Structure 1
Amino acid sequence: MSLARSTFDYEARLAACARGERAALRDLYVQEGPRLLGVAKRLVRDSALAEDIVHEAFIKIWNGAAGFDPARGSARGWMFSVTRHLALNLLRDQGRETSLGDEHESLGDDDGFDAQAHSARIHRCLEQLEPQRRNCILHAYVDGYSHAQIAARLDTPLGTVKAWIKRSLNALRECMA
């Protein structure tokens, strides 16, 4: 039985989590666990993986509660964002594993050297980007932030961030070619 959303104080529960009050985490789980599981299931399309994601999300919520900033959005929205990012990171990682395995299946012992050379090339190309544009790329593809989150984090207009990312990806493609 969940508490009514209109009377449930997410921010107070997160503040209690930050103070180490486990009952607050339990309240958050009872209130939003099923909905967070639904979000994770829709993204990963696997019940067991979705359960793992929600478990990891609540660990991150517990550990990150002190860093929650209500000025940047709602506590409930933050919880959903944590869960969504974990699910998207898992999907992105699975995509990398799949494509890497398929492309390199027939390669011999030089795999490690080729991967290191490719990685060094990527780093050189990233270093050629202006710092703000490099940060946009890293926030988007390493941290998993949306364009809107990057814009907020860098205090830069959303259109500017989108343009920077698009131009930077083009520059990286040219550099890697």
Structure 2
Amino acid sequence: MTEIGPAFGASPPDTAPHDPLIELLRRSARGDEAAFAQLYDATASRLHGLVLRVLRDPAQADEVTQEAFLEIWRSAARFDPARGRALSWLMTIGHRKAVDRVRAAEAASQREHTYQHRNAEVEHDTTADTVHDDLEARRVRAALDDLTPIQRQAIELAYFGGYTHTEVAALLDLPVGTAKTRIRDGLIRLRDTMGVGQ
């Protein structure tokens, strides 16, 4: 393991040639896996700590730390020691990855909330239906009262009792044709009284 020394303590000049992380990044940029392993060993705990402070979830912090190191491996050639310290560059990548994860989680949560809000079942107002049905029943009863007794009996048996025309005729002691006529005439009168179809 490479000795890091002052890179973690007092700040040496930005381009300090003795900063071992700079050399490890340069070697990693050339595909040196051993150098990258040393870089990882030297900085993983600090980077993971930063990511954990942002995410507050150890499992996600582990995952995001690995993503950060993957990006570091792929982009090591882009590190420019003239623009800042190696450790700062690494920590910036880790921080950015952690913030991206937080934003992605917030966006997913917002999408889920929006989806649930849009697809929530609206509670059905049964009170309005009950009132409507009651009023409709009153209208039907009032309209039935306007029928002749034989028309009312025929319609009640056929539509409320569930009897066939033949059974209605037998129950009312009428010919089937007469029973049908009474039912038809009663329905026409009901329609006119209730204003259906007008």
TM-score bracket for this pair, using the shorter chain length: 0.5 to 0.7
Give the C-alpha shift of residue 67 in structure 1. Answer: 1.0
In structure 1, the residue matched to 2:68 is 57
Write out aligned runs for 1:10-25 (5 A).
10-25=21-36
TM-score after normalising by structure 1: 0.57
In structure 1, the residue matched to 2:91 is 80
In structure 2, the residue matched to 1:105 is 116
Q: Deviations over 1:106-151 (max 9, x none)?
A: 435xxxxxxxxxxxxxxxxxxxxxxxxxxxxxxxxxxxxxxxxxxx
Structure 1: gaps of 5 or more residues: 109-177
User: Higher Cα Rg: structure 1 or 2?
Assistant: 2
Aligned AA (1:3): E
C-alpha distance in 2, partners of 1:101/1:54? 26
C-alpha distance in 2, partners of 1:2/1:62? 18
Write out aligned runs for 1:26-175 (5 A).
26-107=37-118
Aligned AA (1:52): E
Alpha carbons of structure 1 residues 8 and 73: separation in structure 2 relative to 1, 3 Å: closer
C-alpha distance in 2, partners of 1:51/1:5? 26
In structure 2, the residue matched to 1:141 is none
Aligned AA (1:4): I
C-alpha distance in 2, partners of 1:66/1:4? 20
C-alpha distance in 2, partners of 1:2/1:33? 13
C-alpha distance in 2, partners of 1:104/1:90? 21
Aligned AA (2:37): R
**Percent of aligned pairs with the same amino acid:** 31
C-alpha distance in 2, partners of 1:42/1:75? 21
Give the C-alpha shift of residue 104 in structure 1. Answer: 2.5
C-alpha distance in 2, partners of 1:82/1:101? 28
TM-score after normalising by structure 2: 0.51
C-alpha distance in 2, partners of 1:51/1:58? 11
Aligned AA (1:20): G
Give the C-alpha shift of residue 9 in structure 1. Answer: 1.0
Give the C-alpha shift of residue 4 in structure 1. Answer: 3.4
In structure 2, the residue matched to 1:114 is none
Aligned pair count reads: 108
C-alpha distance in 2, partners of 1:4/1:68? 18
Aligned AA (2:99): L
SS in 1 for 2:116: coil
Output the aligned Cα RMSD.
Answer: 1.6
